[in-house]
Every structure is written in structure tokens, then in C-alpha cells.
Amino acid sequence: MIGALAVGALFWFARRPKAAEPVKSDEHSAAFCDNETDPENFDQTRSAGPEGMRDKTRRDWNKVDQAVDESFPASDPPAY
């Protein structure tokens, strides 16, 4: 019975449609998401947070990761 459920679950997960990944450009630095290297961005700053980067993060960000990224390049990072 458990084997049949496992096979059914495997079949169901394998057939689910995958979410479409946005087209990524490797023409720019990984620090910038795809629309942040436009000529209008003359000083090459990026938005804070993982959504401002070209590649996915390896793990979810916590509040410390977010606060440190928002404070950069300040000389005094948050005191967490």
C-alpha cells in the first residue's frame, strides 16, 4: 500500500508543469539583476535584497542578511 502511494506521488510530482524561469543574461555581473545594468543606472548601484541579484541565492535570507545588504556600503552595519 505504501509503495503504491509512493509511486503515485512520484508520478504526480513528475507530471506537474514546471514554473517558467525568466530568461537570464550572463552579460553582466552577478551582483545585478537583469534590468539594473541599463545605461540609466550610471553609478551601477543595485537594489538591496536577493531579488536585486542576477542569480538565485543558495539559501533563504534571514533578517540579518537583509539588513546587512541594505546597509552596504555603510561603515556601520546593523547590530544584530
Residue 10 lies in a domain: no
* More confident: 63 or 11: 63
Residue type, 37: T
Q: How many domains does the chain have?
A: 1
pLDDT the model gives residue 22: 53
Residue type, 72: F
In angstroms, rounded to a whole number, what is the distance separating the alpha carbons of residues 54 and 36? 9
pLDDT the model gives residue 19: 60
Residue 47 lies in a domain: yes
Residue 12 lies in a domain: no
pLDDT the model gives residue 23: 62
Report yes or no on whether pTM surpasses 0.85. no
Residue 71 lies in a domain: yes
Q: By residue range, what is the domain housing residue 54? A: 29-80
Residue 1 lies in a domain: no
Is the Cβ–Cβ distance between 68 and 50 less than 8 Å? no
List pLDDT tens digits, range 12-62: 777 766 666 556 666 766 677 776 776 666 677 777 888 888 888 889 999
